[in-house]
Amino acid sequence: MYNLTIAHLYPEQMNIYGDRGNIITLRQRCAWREITTTLIPVMPGSSIDWQSVDLAFFGGGQDSGQALIAADFVEHQAEPLRRAAETGMVLLAICGGYQLLGHYFLTHTGEKLPGIGLLDVHTVGSTQRLIGNLLIEANWGTGRQTLVGFENHSGGTFLGKGVKPLGKVLAGHGNNGQDGSEGAVWQNVIGCYMHGSLLPKNPHFADHLLELALQRRHGASATLSPLDDQLELAAHNTMVERLQH
């Protein structure tokens, strides 16, 4: 029987627009397959053995919540988390969590807030918010797939050469509303602006993350048994059709 350890970064401060639903989805999809999961909440000041973590989630938060945890994240978690990511730990970060993985956030007032530089991205704040449903086309090695979510951010994120986009925007704004990209990927680290919650709306993407985590922990031959996702995919496809038309 397989087992996975999942870390949830700052669940009290960084949990907006239903981001906690991503953790619920990951654990439930494991439970249906009789995969045992251990959940580790990462709180301010926590000491975490990141090498024991297979999959981590870092949600978004209000600006006030993000300000409360930013220094703690940089000081206590950045380096051990980076070492785990370099050895294949899976990390999904959304909105504020995504921004903190980059080099810096330049606010619209000119204040430069440091990130940890795990992803080769930077974010520039604006007085204009990018809000609405978001549809992208992505490809993580199994052919073209669609992802749907909800975005609400004032920061525009720009990618460097060390990352590739998660996908191409088909409807909505994405990273910055300018270049048609959404999200950033480096190794098994994925950042994006897709709230909503993301994973309940995209079970195929949830399984992609779980399979990466399983293979890191249990070897390349570890695979997921199929689930009946008829209802989940019907809801997903309804949103795709709505946003395309």
Q: Which residues are annotated as a binding site for substrate?
A: 129
Q: Which two tokens stand for residue 154?
A: 């004032």
The two three-digit tokens of residue 122, written as one number: 């930077």
Q: Which residues are annotated as a binding site?
A: 129
Contacts of residue 72, Cβ cutoff 8 Å, sequence gap at least 6: 44, 45
Is 192 annotated in the active site?
Answer: no
Query: CA Rg, the chain, in Å?
Result: 17
Residues 6+ apart with CB under 8 A from 33: 2, 224, 225, 227
Active-site annotation holder among 8, 122, 173, 195: 195
Quick check: 66 and 13 in contact, CB under 8 A?
Answer: yes
Report the run of H or E that residue 206 belongs to, with start and end.
helix 203-218
Known catalytic residue at 153? no
User: CA-CA distances (angstroms) from residue 230 to 9, 30, 145?
Assistant: 31, 17, 16
Distances in Å between the Cα of 144 and the Cα atoms of 139, 163, 168, 205, 227 are 5, 19, 11, 12, 20
Q: Which is the catalytic residue, given 95, 122, 192, 208?
A: 95
Spatial distance between the Cα atoms of 84 and 54, rounded to a whole number of angstroms: 9
List, by residue number, the catalytic residues.
95, 195
